[in-house]
Structure 1
Amino acid sequence: MPDAETRSVADEAGTLVPTPPEEWEADVVLRDGSVAHLRPIRPADADALRRFHNAQSAESIYLRFFAPLKELSDRDVHRFTHVDHHDRVALVATVGADIIGVGRYDRLGGSTSAEVAFNISDRFQGRGIGSVLLEHLAAIARELGIEKFTAEVLPQNRKMLMVFKDAGYEVTHRVEDGVVELSFAIEPTEHSKAVALSREHRAESRSMHTILFPERVALVGASRREGSVGALVLANILRSGYQGELVAIHPEVDELQGVPAYRSVEEAPGPIDLAVVVVPADQVQGVVRDCGRAGVKALLVLSSGFAEAGEEGTRLQEQLRREVRLAGMRLVGPNSFGLINTHPDVRLNASLAPMVPPPGRLGLFAQSGALGIAVLASAARRGLGISVFASAGNRADVSGNDLMQYWIDDEDTHTVGLYLESMGNPRKFSRIARQLAMVKPVVVVSSGVSSFAAPPGHRTRRTQVPPQAFDALLRQAGVIRVENIHQLFDVAQLTLHQPLPAGQRVAIVGNSDALGSISASACLSWGLDVTHGPVSLLPQASADEFASALEAAFADPNVDSVVAGFIPPLMTLDEDLTAAVRAVVARHQKPCVATFLGMRGVEGGLSYEEADGTDRIVPSYTMPEDGIRALNAVTRYAQWRARDRGAPVVPAGIDRLRVEAFIDRVLADSPDGRALTRDEAAELLEGYGIRLWPAAAVGSADEAVAAAERLTYPVILKSTSPVVRHQPGIAGLRSDLGDAEAVRDAYESLSQRLGALGDGTFVVQRMAVPGVSCVLTAQEDPLFGPVVSFSVAGPPTELLDDVAHRIPPLTDVDVRDLISGVKAAPLLAGHRGAAPVHRAALRDLVARLSVLADDHPELASVELNPVNAWTGGVDTLGAEVVVRPALLRQDPGRRRMT
């Protein structure tokens, strides 16, 4: 990271004061779901710090300073507000203009230890502010070379003792002179990481619960004018039977549609949990300030005219975002289609949809209003009930990530459907989606992940990686990706109403040869195994005959799922048949998908109750291919859910600090970054246990011979010209050179043959044993962060784009999947009699590269090419590394809202 002391500004007295990096600032969600802003302390905070201290109780002051310090002296205030942001760092948590918490550390001498202390406002204690401050201070301290925190705490200060105890670090303590002395290493452990993620989850889930379960709602912009948005939304809330207290905000009337009206939110009886805003865009900022003064917890802004409308709208949206977070609130929107919660304790339709699907177990998230209409309409046509629907609009604050945090623990939601038009934080999405997918299916429709595909108004970054990287991210997370809304509901109606399949073996039963043939072909095309049937009864077969055939299919131990197809002879669905199907399916814990002509969805008499009382429905599809596509997607999800998640890769022999120091030296000499020389690349890679084979650049035949003598024979001679390396059919390499004469002849031959193409650039390298040449890369992407890729070198990479991708941090299972994820993977297993490569060594190399990329965002790109994988190990023969100033990652490893 940049040296904070190289930048400074003058304070009120004209003294130069260092300024900290911008990335130290962050908005965070607290334990109660409210929002606070974390930032480094400033000299201008003197008055705010005095107000903070003066508002504290005598007990809190004593616990912090070990003395009854009634007022802070000018000297104390100056010392507390003037820090160097290196050896002395202080962060403040603020809401509005008020400081609500202070955390600081002071390095002990010139050591790698620092003493840490906290002071939390009495009014805000119990909201997790101390834990957040500790988390951020520890991350900053690690970046600045501090390895251990110490603290002195009075024994009666139980809250602060719990902050340290519950942080997940290995804390040692002793009592001396009536004071508890604590110390702990601040390098993250798996436990401390899990603690931080758990706290983030609880806080963000709580903030969404406040939004979705409001006890008091204020509609700002309610209107008397028929057909207006304000009148429509008010009518929708009333029609839904909202169970809480509703007030309208209108400047002129005292009542609207039987709802009491007030001139402002401040005048309304409080507290207000959710303010639904439908005023014009240029009036929203005033509403936000009114809501902030009234203590409103969250805003739902349906108003349009923000970033989707152009430059001025973008400015208004950024102001809205800043004002909302400054006031400690959450924001859904702007340009949102609205929120719906069908829970019987809420029954809130705060949206533009006059009619909503019935209550159910499907959670839905969509970003734009138009797609919100389509999603709700499609669910209603299918007879699928919803639990929660949310539209984030321009996604200035609340996103799909927040809703997923809530759905992880929501017992009323059994399947989650997301329609994503853009993604602002894929890394965070990946880890939250993975946690959610472990307990319930997540079905995603996504039209793109970069700013090229993002709708106007969505804040995102351009990605430089191929679309396959996004596909890999979803697969890693266990997400079911589909192409459109129809497929989303095809999958949802199966996951909601049938058990997950235990495997990919399928039985096919029907009364039509054509349907049976179509079904079997569809199964084979999706990689499902047809192990029973197709069984085709006569079109005139009775319900009992159909039931017997179904029973045989379900009872077959070699069957995991059943596909049923039925064409009624009179184009009507016979009740006897549906009763027979219900009875058979109810007796077995295997999923069934059906094609009954004239039916689609989960209505029409195919519902049944299992022995344990669980309500089920046999989902019906217009054509077998639709149901089998859904069945395949759910089968793959079930396999992902059942498999071992793996353990995070932690290669031995890594020297992170050494590599950090090396990168800092490079950027000190080249602030804009540059490509490393081969020797520099070797030094950097060695810090992570990756040995780059030596090679000597030569400019003459004599130099080539001398290099070969140093490296020992046999050697290779190759051109390093990019033109030669990437042009098919141009041989720029001579191998198996066993003596000086062979090296000299090869040099002269290549020089003459390549001419200007060779550019006179050659290297000599010891010859590796025969193996499979591979390419490993790590790229720091503005949107995704680090992306690790693997491929087999040559045509599979250069012509067929046969490249697999994964997003760190990786588990050992991820590493295995990455290597086996390319179509050319059989070459690694010993193709046509060749010896198989050393998989363990190749996995170790991938793991080291992934950890290197995850640890150092300054590494713009690392390419290991070629990597020779052979039966005895792997040899890294070439490497190209580019270093540049680090991009601010969207998910930096400490809690922050994006």
Structure 2
Amino acid sequence: MEPSQAEAPYPSHWEADVLLKDGGTAHLRPIRPDDADRLHAFHNAQSEESVYFRFFAAYPRLTDRDVHRFTHVDHVDRVAFVATIGDDIVGVVRYDRLDGSEAEVAFNISDAHQGRGLGSVLLEHIAAAARERGIERFVAEVLPANARMIAVFEEAGYTVRRDYDDGIVSVEFGIEPTDTSLQVARAREHRAEARSIERLLRPSGVAVIGASRAYRTVGRTVLRNLEAAGYAGQVYVVNPGADEVAGHQAYASVVDIPDEVDLAIVAVPAEAVTRVVLDCAAKGVVGLIVLSVGFAEKGTEEGLERQRELVRLARANGMRVIGPGSFGVVNTDPLVRLNASLAPVPPATGRIGMFSQSGALGVAILDGAAARGLGMSTFVSAGNRADVSGNDLLQYWQEDPATAAVLLYMESIGNPRKFTRLARRVARRKPLVALRTGQSSQGVPVGHTLRDSRLPREAVSALFRQAGVIRVDTLGQLFDVGQLVATQPLPSGDRVAVVGNSDALNLLAVDAVQSWRMTLAGRPRSVRPEATAEEFAAALAGVFADPQVDSVVAVFIPPLVTPGQDVAKVLGELAQASGKTVVSTFLGIRGVPEQLRATPDGTMPPRGSVPSYPTPEEAVRALVAASRYAAWRRRPQGTVPDLPHLDCEAARALVEERLAGHPEDAPPLRLSYADAEDLLRAYGVEVEPSVFVSTVGEAVTAARELGYPVVLKTAVPGLRNRPDLSDVRLDLGDATALVRAWTELRLTLGEEAVRDAMVQRMAPTGVPVVVTALEDALFGPVVTFGVGGVATEVLGDRSYRFPPVTDVDVADMVRSIRALPLLTGYRGADPVDLGAIEELLLRVARLVDDVPEVHELVLDPVLAGPTGLTVVRAAVWVSRPSGREDAGPRRLE
């Protein structure tokens, strides 16, 4: 073993709260000298077999010398992590460096916690720490009978080599993440997070802590709602000041309850919550719904610190938290019937899973759903979203058979990269409709701690589109679209037929269809205002039988002679039998009226019911949202292609060298032109060479070396790209033309312009386009594309995508700008090579995804021509990244 480096400071950034396979939590941290007693206790509680597997011999107790060696590490060559639950160590992993890049790794998991996935999560974290310390490979020696530990290595997704010698299994593997290891980790993350939510939504025993005899208090209200919903499990009341509350025996503490309690509803003053959390930990509660307020939403450091302590204590003791400031949760499953919320009337059983970040809007959301006749499978109000977030619910709803569509009311996005990854996966299976408030200001609600973002609203909308999320602007639209995707099949195309008994409303529907650039399937089918149900049925049957029709807008206003229920009957029956998407403006009703509901199936409304909207415009708007989402579902997912000529190591080395000694709090460092060219070249992007000159003689020499014709331009930032100045002279064919251009620049822009000038070879003609990328503190890397020019900048005609991007993403990115005709042969011009633009975008996206130190990158202009493109100019700024939320080993946000 090589000599040890100097001992490093305690690496607090390695600490993490983690989820285990069964949904419970644990805390991971580097081992400390004060862990001596805990390590003794951990070892003494282990079975003889576990001790033998770890030490290859009977080892009934650790000596003080052993413990000192195990707990005193240098965090460089000798690193150890412990997993704790409460104050107890439940797992230990360590590595000892053998040489410069190889280390021996060893595990020991508590007998009481084996099978919970501790080994795999410890391996992820120790491997990440090892990579940070320059280690590339792990080796381990394992007894053949220790099948569980061998499985930890083999199932991690690394390429493992095993050798047998003298009854010992020698294992070795590289620890650089692979596609397989990342997939394994994310599959485990999915199962653990889904399980943690399931434990909260399907408890067998619930304690209401803080329920009092006063009828209108928060705790008493939740207790009343639990009983009214007919909760299938056991309900307990905790109130140290009472013997009985509403017919329930009151316990002084949750610890005093004789039976198991899975879920605690906390409705006590904020200052009493910590004591409650500790009691719940002692009881073995797995989840907390904190209705109490007085935390981060107060906007004070005291409130924020109280919230942090709540989450820290809960996670350290194996629990998850919904809230604080939550409105509660609802699970309408007939086998559960959980209304642990402040809503007096829970929604009916339905197919919609609803997440709300706002506690205050809980009543409005549930009342709005009930008014439309919409049922829900589950409803969760996150309040301050201190722990459980929308990302956790997406993991749960992805495979929940009771949920067919997901609605999200979001006030902020805490981890956009993870949200995008999960949303894209969920949206491939179920519609995902989201309302995000505060977009105009990118504001963050009080109580939600987020990094600052510098992205415009358009970029966030692009993130939703890239992930397949149906984005809406109002709460009403959230339900408008939700009621459609939860009841009707998705449209198979964009061809829309209109049928109705009102010419005026038919025309409104036609105008709406065409304004959204949907295809009108023939003329509207009009029936007489007083048409009978049979006449209406004949018109409907005709459009449903037409193979050129994908969806139908049905309009019915009540005449005096035709009963509405007769028309409703034929509309509902024919729509359900057609298999096509149907929306209606039926009697001006909003929601899913009883007359248009399909055969009851235990949910509300039943699948196949026809949703109604007060106006044809609202009906068409919801239909358009569903049609665009269906088109996204039909589109190939694409792949992140393997690009040739990539040298990530060279790029990282260049950036690290330039940032060496650059203060972390200093503004981003702009790379020299030569460095920017080298960085891009490492990712297969060639930039047209530039020669910087300060005299006319140097300019002539540079032009001769580059070869005429050339371009002369000023490099002074304040004079570049200004529409009122001519800072570039093009197509200079000889030295005489170059000298003349030099003189013109000096006379028009001043001496400064030519003291800092550049000469380039004249590039082939083409359409100027602009490619930029930046590292956003909240969203991570983002890439933009647009046609060059002041008009494009003024109109904001830019497309955005968030790496990793697929070939399908970049194809859509190029074709989604309004100026696309300039690239496809406007007014007889030759179309440009769109494939070359797409490859450039893929390479830039890969660069900024791989190298987060790239703070900003600008390629402007890029001249796109019929047979390729030329990157004329590149500017790159680098800085120390703040760290991406969705990077590294699994950890709770």
**TM-score normalised by length of structure 2:** 0.96
Moved more, 600-609 or 201-210: 600-609
Distance 2:751 2:365 in 1: 61
Structure 1 residue aligned with 2:316 = 326
Offset of 1:888 from its aligned partner? 1.9
Contact (CA 8 Å) 2:531, 2:562: kept in 1 or not? no
Determine if contact 1:858/1:887 at 8 Å carries over to the other structure: no
Match of 1:222 among 202, 206, 211: 211
Question: Which position in structure 2 is the counterpart of 1:445?
Answer: 435
Q: What is residue 779 of structure 2 aligned with on the other side?
A: 784
1:59 paired to 2:49:
yes
| 1:84-136 C-alpha deviation (Å, 9 max, x unpaired) | 333433222222222222222333312x3333222211111111111112222
Matches within 5 A, 1:158-173: 158-173=147-162
Task: Give the counterpart of 1:825 among 820, 825, 835.
Answer: 820
Match of 1:347 among 337, 347, 359: 337
Match of residue 639 from structure 1: 631
**Do structure 1's residue 150 and structure 2's residue 136 form an aligned pair?**
no
| 1:850 corresponds to 2:845 | yes
Between the aligned partners of 1:624 and 1:202, the Cα distance in structure 2 is: 43
Deviations 1:710-751 (A, max 9, x none): 222221111122222242131100111122222222112111
1:290 Cα offset (Å): 1.3
Distance apart, 1:697 and its partner CA: 1.3
Q: Out of 851-860 and 378-387, give the one that drifted further.
A: 851-860
1:680 aligns with one of 675, 678, 681: 675
- The change in CA–CA distance for 1:691 and 1:149 in structure 2 (over 3 A counts) is farther
Alignment correspondent of 1:801: 796
C-alpha separation in 1, matches of 2:863 and 2:10: 45
| Contact 1:724 1:757 (C-alpha < 8 Å) held by counterparts | no
Give the corresponding residue for 2:405: 415
One-letter amino acid matched to 1:527: R
Show structure 2 runs of 5+ residues with no match: none
Cα deviation 1:384-437 (Å, max 9, x = unaligned): 011111100001100111111110111111111111011111111111111111
Distance 1:449 1:89, change over 3 A: farther
Specify the code of the residue in structure 1 equivalent to 2:458.
Answer: Q
Residue 120 of structure 1 corresponds to 109
Q: Are the aligned partners of 2:774 and 2:856 in contact in 1 as well (CA < 8 Å)?
A: yes
Question: Which residue of 1 is the match for residue 325 of structure 2?
Answer: 335
Residue pair 1:509, 1:533 contacting (<8 A) in 2 also: no
Letter matched to residue 252 of structure 1: G
Distance 2:678 2:36 in 1: 47
Matched, 1:875 2:864: no
Alpha-carbon distance in 2 for matches of 1:105, 1:815: 43
| C-alpha separation in 1, matches of 2:95 and 2:39 | 17
Rate the CA distance shift 1:270–1:684 in 2: closer, same or farther, 3 A. Answer: farther
Count of residue correspondences: 884
Superposed displacement of residue 73, structure 1: 3.5
CA contact (8 A) 2:588 2:615 kept: no
Kept after mapping to 1: 8 A contact 2:442/2:453: no
Q: 1:258 aligns with which of 236, 247, 263?
A: 247
Residues 29-60 of structure 1, C-alpha deviation per residue, up to 9 Å, x if partnerless?
A: 11111111122223333332232222221211
Q: Is the 8 A contact 2:7 2:75 kept in 1?
A: no
Alignment map for 1:502-517 (pairs within 5 Å): 502-517=492-507
Deviation per CA, 1:629-673: give whole Å up to 9, x if none: 000000011111111101123322322223222222222221335
> Please, which moves more after superposition, 824-833 or 584-593?
824-833
Do 1:587 and 1:610's aligned partners in 2 also have CA atoms closer than 8 Å? no
Deviation at 1:897, TM superposition (A): 1.2
Question: What is the RMSD of the two structures over their aligned residues, measured on CA atoms?
Answer: 2.1
State whether structure 2 residue 613 is matched by structure 1 residue 621.
Answer: yes
Farther-moved stretch of structure 1 (147-156 vs 616-625) = 147-156
CA distance in 2, matches of 1:84, 1:650: 39
Structure 1 residue 880: Cα displacement: 1.5
SS at match of 2:691: strand
Deviation at 1:834? 2.7
- Aligned residue among 650, 654, 664 for 1:658: 650
- Correspondence for 1:560: 550
Superposition deviation, residue 450 in structure 1: 9.4
Displacement of 1:82? 3.3
Q: TM-score, normalised by structure 1?
A: 0.95
1:719 to 693, 709, 714: 714
Report the CA distance shift for 1:278/1:178 in structure 2 as closer, same or farther (over 3 A).
same
- The answer on whether the counterparts of 1:422 and 1:450 sit within 8 Å (CA) in structure 2 is no
Alpha-carbon spacing, 1:36–1:842, altered in 2? closer, same or farther (3 Å): same
Cα distance change of structure 1 residues 598 and 571 upon mapping to structure 2, 3 Å threshold: farther
- Cα deviation per residue 1:425-460 (whole Å; 9 max; x = unaligned)? 111111111111111111101113698522211121
Unaligned runs of 5+ in 1: 7-15
Q: Do structure 1's residue 236 and structure 2's residue 229 form an aligned pair?
A: no
Q: What is the CA–CA distance in structure 1 between the aligned matches of 2:738 and 2:96, rounded to whole Å?
A: 61
CA distance in 1, matches of 2:343, 2:654: 58
Query: Which of 507, 522, 534 is 1:544 aligned to?
Result: 534
Partner of 2:276: 287
Q: 1:665 to 1:75 in 2, by over 3 A?
A: farther
How far does residue 779 in structure 1 lie from its aligned partner after superposition?
0.8
Structure 1 CA distance for aligned equivalents of residues 714 and 188 of structure 2: 54
**What is the SS of the residue equivalent to 1:734?**
strand
Q: 1:499 aligns to what?
A: 489
SS in 2 for 1:50: helix
SS in 1 for 2:360: helix
CA contact (8 A) 1:451 1:462 kept: no
1:120/1:130 contact within 8 Å kept: yes
**Deviation, structure 1 residue 256:** 1.4
Counterpart among 370, 377, 380 of residue 380 in structure 1: 370
Query: Which segment drifts farther, 759-768 or 741-750?
Result: 759-768
Equivalent of 1:755, from 739, 750, 760? Answer: 750
Which amino acid in structure 1 is aligned with residue 879 of structure 2?
Answer: R
C-alpha separation in 1, matches of 2:562 and 2:383: 43
| Alpha-carbon distance change, 49 to 848 in structure 1, aligned in 2, over 3 angstroms | farther
Is this contact kept in 2: 1:506–1:561, CA < 8 A? yes
2:29 is equivalent to residue 34 of structure 1? no
SS at match of 2:891: coil
Deviation, 1:609, is: 4.2
Distance 2:823 2:132 in 1: 40
Q: Structure 1 residues 76, 817: CA separation in 2 closer, same or farther (over 3 Å shift)?
A: farther
Equivalent residue, structure 1, for 2:729: 734
Classify 1:568/1:472 alpha carbon distance in 2 versus 1 (closer, same or farther; 3 Å).
same
Give the SS at the match of 2:221. Answer: helix
CA gap 1:451/1:249 in 2 versus in 1, 3 angstroms: farther
- Is 1:585 the counterpart of 2:575? The answer is yes
Cα 1:88–1:840 shift into 2, 3 Å: farther
SS in 2 for 1:356: coil
Q: Counterparts of 1:573 and 1:429 in 2: how far apart (Å)? A: 48
Match of 1:834 in 2: 829
Distance in 1 between the 2:792 and 2:451 partners?
27
- Output one character per residue of 1:124-174: Cα deviation in whole Å (capped at 9) or x when no partner: 111111111222233333344433333222111111111122112222222
- Aligned 8 A contact 1:791 1:822 in 2: yes
Deviations 1:509-538 (A, max 9, x none): 111110111000000111210013211111
Report if aligned partners of 1:218, 1:272 keep a CA contact under 8 Å in 2: yes
The one-letter code matched in structure 2 to 1:658 is A
Which residue does the alignment assign to 1:431? 421
Q: Does 1:648 align with 2:640?
A: yes
Distance 2:565 2:663 in 1: 76
Match of 1:278 in 2: 267
**1:820 CA displacement:** 1.8
Tell me if structure 1 keeps the 8 A contact 2:231–2:336: yes
In the alignment, the residues of structure 2 paired with residue 121 and residue 571 of structure 1 have an alpha-carbon distance, to the nearest angstrom, of 78
